[in-house]
Structure formats: structure tokens, C-alpha cells
Amino acid sequence: MMKSLINKIWALLLYGLLVALPQVSAAAEPSVSVEVSTDTCTIGDNIFYTLRVLHEPSVSVAYPTEADTIFAPFEIRKLERHSETNAERVQDDLHYTLTIFETGLHYVPPIILRYIEDQPGAAEGKLQVPAKPVFVRSVLDSTQKSIADIKPVQTPDLPAWIYAAVIAGIALVALIAYLIYKAKNRQTPATTSKPKPQKPPYDEAMEKLSALKQYPFETEVHYRNYYTDLSDALRVFLERFYQIPAQEQLTAEIHSAMLKAQLREQAENAKLILEKADLVKFAKYYPSKLEAGESLQLAIKVVEVAKPTVQQAPASMEDAETKS
């Protein structure tokens, strides 16, 4: 009897452990809410836009800064951030003071907040923030009547020769202006400005990557800026050369798109670079100078596949004639 009771107790404990384990290991997805102080304002007024994000302490969220133009046509005048943390949740309140100098109905655009759990190999997630409408009025009162003259304007009678002299003067000025215009056109022929051609993807990427070779690594900000520039250069190259929207995709989406295009080696190398850049930007991970150099060399290897092949030119005119 006692043995049967003990077996039942062990079975209940095992069942409770199996049920609770997934709940402990699964990280809750952050939640976001947005508030706008008013839906109608006067041009140039302050508009108070508040983001509230609830997330676990192990999750890092990237927020818009004062230098961002993500709210265009609205401009960011001021940003204040307040955070409250307890053992289970973190509440981030970001108060943006916005303004706009265009009248009519406008929308504070929808934005995407990126977040990642602070552990190696964690996938990046997205939070969608909806748009908010704001109607902007002019400083002029539309109900105000236009100013009208109390009395019609009186035009004095002038002799006819004055009208003739004015007309002759206008004609003379017009003739002089025409002669000057013709003389300038004869001296400086019109030239059509040609648009500056865009650099090939390989040249553009190598120029950006070469600039990173002399990058200083003295503070945490240097590491974050270095990996941001490295990630941006690689994303632009992948988008231009392989025609995939790499600048808008997550690291996992870029990796999947390259695998579908039969680019396994480039896909794996790009994934290593972008995952490390995500860790530096979102998880406060700071690699050594050696790791930073290896990431740069790996990016150059990804870009080298686009290097154009150049045929060797003949050494002299005699060689050219011989080959012909």
C-alpha cells in the first residue's frame, strides 16, 4: 500500500515538472503600446508621442534615437526615457516630443522595433507599432474675412506721353536683356550635365570595407559603430548584387534567401558576420580586435565573388600587331 502511494506521488511530481518546464524555458514576447497626446494641432506645435514596451530583463530592444528620421515628415525635438525593472519584467517608457511644419492630415508612420534575447545564437524579433493620424491646422484663422478696401483706389489722370515713355523704356530694357542673353550663349555653349554613374556593387563594397581597416577600437561605442558599418556595407552589397531585400530583412531571412539561390558558402559566411553584428548592437557583446579583423576578412571574402575579371592588355604596339 505504502509503495503504491509513493509511486503515485513520484508520478505526479514528474508530470508537474514536464508541464512547467516549457513555460520556464520559453521567453515571453515583448508587448508594445503607443499614445499620441492629440489628433489635432497647429503647425509648429509640440506633439507628445509615447512608446511603452514591456519585456523580460534578458531581452534588449532597439529604440529610435533623436537623430533618426523614422517619424518623417514629423521631426524629433526631444527624447526622454524612463525604465522600471523588477525581477520578472522591464517597462520602458519613451517620450518623444515631435513637431511638423506641413498642414493637412498626416500620419505618424508605423515603425518596427527590433529585439533580441541576450544569449548567443538568439534570433532577432520584430514589434510592429501602428501609425497614428494627426491633423495639422494653419496658424491663420480660416474663418477670418479677407481685408477689403474701404474706398476704391483712385488712379490720377496722366498725359499720354508718359504712358508712351514707360512703354518705350520697357521695350528698351527687354531688348538689352535679349542682346546680353544672346552674347552669353555665343561665348559659353550649353552643356548638358550627365548624371554621375553609380559604382558597381563590388567597388562600392570594397571601398566601404577598406575604410574599416583603420578603425580605432578604444571604447564600446567604437565596436558598435564598427559592426554597424560592416553590417550595413554587407547588406547593401547583397541587395545590389544578388537582388534580395537584405536591408529590410532579418539575418535568418537573408540566410534563407541565399540558400534558396544555391549560395551556401556565401550564405554561411554572411550569417556569421550578421549574427555577430546583432550581438554587438543588441546584446552588448564586445569581441576582441582579432575577432573584429576576422569579421572584416570574412566580409571581403563574400564580396570577392563579384570581383570583375580583367583581361591583360598587350605590353606594346608590336605585341598587339602580332596578336592581331
Tell me: pLDDT of 323 over 60. Answer: no
Tell me: pLDDT of 239 over 80. Answer: yes
Mean pLDDT for all residues in the chain: 81
Residue 229: the pLDDT is 93
* Residues in CB range of 298: below 8 A, 6 or more apart: 269, 272, 273
Q: What percent of the chain is modeled with pLDDT above 70?
A: 80
Hey, what's the cell of 264?
A: 551556401
Residues in the chain: 324
Hey, what's the cell of 252?
A: 535568418
Angle CA 316–322–324, to nearest 5: 105
Q: Using CA atoms, how far apart are residues 147 and 159, in angstroms rounded to an integer? A: 33
Residue 282: the pLDDT is 85
pLDDT of 279-306, one tens digit each? 888 887 888 888 888 988 998 999 988 8
> Which CATH number describes the domain made up of 31-137?
2.60.40.4100
Residue 154: the pLDDT is 65
pLDDT of 255-286, one tens digit each? 899 899 888 888 898 999 999 889 888 887 88
pLDDT of 75-134, one tens digit each? 999 999 989 888 788 999 989 998 998 898 999 999 988 888 887 878 888 888 999 999
Angle CA 310–313–319, to nearest 5: 155
Residue 80: the pLDDT is 93
- Band (pLDDT 50/70/90 cuts) for residue 314 is very low
pLDDT of 149-164, one tens digit each? 555 666 667 778 788 8
pLDDT of 196-220, one tens digit each? 788 899 999 899 989 888 888 788 8
Residue 160 neighbours by CB distance under 10 Å = 7
List 49's β-bridge partners, or say none: 36, 96
pLDDT of 14-35, one tens digit each? 666 554 444 444 457 888 999 9
Report the amino acid identity of residue 305: V
